[in-house]
Amino acid sequence: MDLAPGYFRHLRIERLQRRSAGQPGVLTLSGGLPAPETFPVRSLGRSLTGLGRDALQYDWPEGRSGLREWVARHLRQRDVKVEHDEVLITSGAQQALDIALQVSTEPGSSIGVPEACYPLALALFRARGMSPESKLVDEATEYTMPAVENPTGCALDPAERVRLLARQRLILEDDAYGDLRFGRQHPPLHASAPDRVFLIGTFSKTLCPGLRVGWLVAPPRFRELARRAKQLSDLQANTFAQGIVERYLAAEDFEERLVWLRTFYERRATALVDALRKRVPYLRFREPEGGFSLWASLEESGEDTELLATALRHGVSLDPGSDFRSTPGSRGLCFRLTFSSLPPRQMDEAVKRLARALAEHRKSARERASAKAPVSP
């Protein structure tokens, strides 16, 4: 496995982020993590105590049948026509994506990705020898997050949805945030093209990521290959975690939880948007429609790693945009801002610090530009 060219820049970013993580006083607008206070610790604990020995035993690669039935029922509510035996339980959405990739694409080929893309999908594609492209490539499989994109927090543009379906190519549909749209729910693309769409989902965003439970619904001709790839990778998803989730779902009203979670995250998104409009009116972004983050850009170009270092000096973190790009661009300076991690009462202070960091960054960008400008004779 080769380390992709952008990897060393990523390591620099990671080093800065690790240093700042948990540093008292740094307010976090980075990371894209679910809020830990939403994890249902007590109910999960209750689910754990009733588990039988089967939850400690090996199992078939496709996963526990009760859990597969729950996932199929849940997806049918969003117009996906799926039966429980079509669901493969995975170790999170990340593994589902990896399996879908392994069974449907060839190393050396291109894969279509959004202009701003979930970084660990980009990194995975590169690690598997593929070339992610945000420009249209004729024969390429497409990776997309139609319900809610990471990092933008927005749905795929309706015209783009139509174009994707019309192209008749294979689609890897990452629905990791599908249950966390604040407004109207969209049926996944899978509902319109089940023979071409791999549908990927997870409990990481709506329950907790630590249990590592997700799912994959593969088109029929890839289903057995996917099951085999899962088996060869790790035999089965963690039976213990599957058992906990299965019992939790049987005991709790998950739909009610989803309504509560959407309101919880929408309040945080609104707090961030309001603070940005008030304190950094020149920042460009679209209002998020779900998920955990938004995508912001400045007209000025510059080094986004430097911007992160400046932000950390001012006591706030963000995610530099280069990690989200398939190709380094000169389209101004972009970055992801996470709203999921901070309570609304801290958002204004975080954005105040961000505004100071951006002002400092823009000032030094202007100074650098004028130092480079030719001196008139």
Query: Where do contacts with ligand PLP occur on this chain (CB under 6 A)?
Result: 32, 92-94, 118, 145, 150, 174, 176, 202, 204, 209, 214
Least distance (Å) from ligand PLP to the CB of residue 33?
8
| Angle, helix 65-76 to helix 239-251, in steps of 10 degrees | 50
- Quote the least distance from Cβ 277 to ligand PLP, whole Å: 25
> Considering only CA atoms, which of 219, 207, 237 is closest in space to residue 90?
237
Comparing CB distances to ligand PLP, the nearer of 66 and 209 is 209
Burial class (CB in 10 A: 0-12, 13-18, 19+), 282: exposed
Closer to ligand PLP by Cβ: residue 88 or 298: 88
Of 303, 296, 291, the residue nearest 281 (C-alpha): 296
- The distance of closest approach from Cβ of residue 369 to ligand PLP in the complex, given in angstroms and rounded to an integer, is 35
Q: Which is nearer to ligand PLP, 206 or 239 (CB)?
A: 206
Q: How far is the CB of 88 from ligand PLP (least distance, A)?
A: 14
Nearer to ligand PLP, 59 or 149 (CB): 149
* Cβ–Cβ < 8 Å for 174, 121: yes
**C-alpha 120, offset from chain centre:** 8
Residue nearest to ligand PLP (CB): 92
Identify which of residues 241 and 307 has a Cβ nearer to ligand PLP in the complex: 241
Contact 298, 284 (CB under 8 A): yes
Task: Characterize 43-73 residue by residue with b for buried, 16 or more Cβ atoms within 10 angstroms of its Cβ, and e for exposed.
Answer: bbeebeeeeeeebeeebebbbbebbbbbbbe
Q: Are 326 and 112 in contact (CB under 8 A)?
A: no
Closest CA to 153 of 355, 339, 351, 371: 339
Give per-residue burial for 346-374: e unless 16+ CB within 10 Å, then b. ebbebbbbbbbbbeebbeebeeeeeeeee
- Min CB(35)–ligand PLP separation in Å: 14
Tell me the HSE value of 168 on the side-chain side, using a 13 A CA sphere: 0
Considering beta carbons, is residue 280 or 337 the nearer one to ligand PLP? 337
Maximum C-alpha span of the chain: 85
Q: Which is nearer to ligand PLP, 62 or 319 (CB)?
A: 319
d(CA 326, CA 124): 12
Closest residue by Cα to residue 127 from 271, 3, 259: 3
Smallest gap, in angstroms, from Cβ of residue 278 to ligand PLP?
Answer: 28
- Closer to ligand PLP at the Cβ: 266 or 275? 266
Torsion, Cα 17 18 23 25, to 10 degrees, reads 10
Q: How far is the CB of 375 from ligand PLP (least distance, A)?
A: 48
**Residue placing its CB nearer to ligand PLP in the complex, 207 or 309:** 207
Smallest separation, CB 207 to ligand PLP (Å): 10
CB of 241 to ligand PLP, least distance (A): 12
Smallest distance, Å, CB 177 to ligand PLP?
7
Q: What angle do CA 103, 146, 257 make, to 5 degrees?
A: 100
Closest CB to ligand PLP among residues 97, 309:
97
